[in-house]
Amino acid sequence: MKTIILAAGQGTRLRPLTDDKPKCMVEVGKKSIIRRQLDVMRNCGIKEEDTIIVCGYKADTLIDELKDTKITLVKNDEYENTNMVYSLMCAKNVIEKAEDILISYGDIIYEKHVLAEVLQYRGDIGVVVDDGWYSYWAARCDNPLDDAETLKYDAGDYLTEIGQKTTDLKDVMAQYIGLMRFVGKGIKDMLEIVEEASRRSEVGESLWRTKRNYRKMYMTDLLQGMIDEGKKLKALHIDRGWYEVDDKDDLKLAEEGII
């Protein structure tokens, strides 16, 4: 299994903490986000030599930080004008050759049991979702629906909708955390939708449920596109045990509930 960590973003909402380093190097309880992720991965048997980090903003700082590891760092030189899917495709040569890929956002921390949930999955595509999201979102903002996005799944636990804005709590059955796995056919299905998104953007066609083009696609745009094209994405359920660090308030919550 190859692991790809997406860590190219600028982390503007964490400034001045990110003035001289990428967001993944911000410390949570005296240890950086990226080191926390790598520690959990190592404890779950993931090897450094099978890990790729897509960097961009302040890339040289991260490269220097990890020079004592066997991790491969790939640069997204277009990080200022692109988003998650474009960053992911900076590692396309790895993805095309792989039989099993774990993808993690670079601004989340999680407990071992969260990672174990996705590692033990044996299907084509698994997406980790948090059933206990509401209490966390309520702590992050006055109205959880101001920030939460739709996530729906059917009786078989396959996703039917993800990443859309809503004002109805019924549309949020859980929350996506930024951790997923693609195996075998799942990798081919993902690459197929990426190619279709790129083709549509080149000719001015809209994507699935977003006004963003290929270069600006979020991962949730890609996942929704896969759903709309009939691909099967399994919801892998957890109940907390993770934190996202988007801004200083998130950082404070993560440090208070340190893992």
Domain boundaries, the chain: 2-256
Q: Look at the block and give the residue holding tokens 């799944």.
A: 153
Q: CA dist 16 to 26, 37, 171, 247, 250, Å?
A: 11, 22, 35, 11, 15
What predicted TM-score, i.e. pTM, was given to this entire model?
Answer: 0.96
Say whether 59 sits in a helix, a strand or coil. helix
Instruction: Give tens-digit pLDDT for 99-123.
Output: 999 999 999 999 999 999 999 999 9
Amino acid identity for residue 250 in this structure? D
CB 71 within 8 A of CB 106: no
Alpha-carbon gap, residue 151 to 171, rounded angstroms: 6
Average pLDDT for 73-79: 97
Average pLDDT for 153-158: 97
Average pLDDT for 155-173: 96
Say whether 131 sits in a helix, a strand or coil. coil
CATH 1.10.3430.10 fits 2-256, yes or no: no
Q: What is the pLDDT of residue 259?
A: 60
Instruction: Give tens-digit pLDDT for 236-257.
Output: 999 999 999 999 999 999 999 8
Alpha-carbon gap, residue 201 to 95, rounded angstroms: 22
Instruction: Give tens-digit pLDDT for 209-242.
Output: 999 999 999 999 999 999 999 999 999 999 999 9
pLDDT at 30 over 70: yes
Alpha-carbon gap, residue 123 to 152, rounded angstroms: 19
Per-residue DSSP letter, 58: B
pLDDT at 169 over 90: yes
Per DSSP, which regions of the chain are E strands?
A: 2-7, 51-55, 72-75, 100-105, 108-110, 125-130, 151-153, 159-162, 175-183, 234-238, 242-244
